[in-house]
Amino acid sequence: MNSYEKYPINILAITSISTLISYLIGAGIFYLIGGYFFSLTYVILVVFMFGLSMRFRCTYCYYFGKCCSTGLGLLAGILFKQRDREEFSNPKNIAKVAPLSFGLLFVPLIFGLIFVFIKFSWILLIAMFLYFLIAVNGGFLIRKNLVCKNCKQGEIGCPAYEGMTGSRTAK
């Protein structure tokens, strides 16, 4: 496997733009549901999730302080101290971040569906469809085809890598 020592700028751009668009659409969904307050609450939760991810994932990762596929490795290198890389796949670290990370991915769809049934809106339905295409479907395709298959941490040990590539990593 050819893994990256640091990810090229084109992959960082693709993941960053996709992520930004996803969260903007998610914030738009919450704006349509409940206005600025709901939208701002969602954005605050997203920022909090990124902070937790950097603290409990990036600080253990091979890409700590380097350009990873998201750029968070570089930012984590500025904000936090590096931790033992052997602890990257430790369930106690994953459990602190995964529920919030995956939850935030699906929360706009769940709340959107609830509110589409309460008070139907074509705009909300279209926003949810776009969110699903870009955030959920697009996000998984990008990770599977561009990120995970080229990841050095995946070679070392990563549950996401194993799920995306269908192969076990060395431990």
The two tokens of residue 77 are: 């290198």
pLDDT of residue 97: 85
**pLDDT value at position 95?**
79
Helical packing angle, 9-34 and 91-118, nearest 10°: 40
Query: What pTM does this model have?
Result: 0.87
Alpha-carbon Rg for the chain, nearest whole angstrom, is 17
Stretches in the chain below the pLDDT threshold 50: 171
Residue 93: the pLDDT is 78
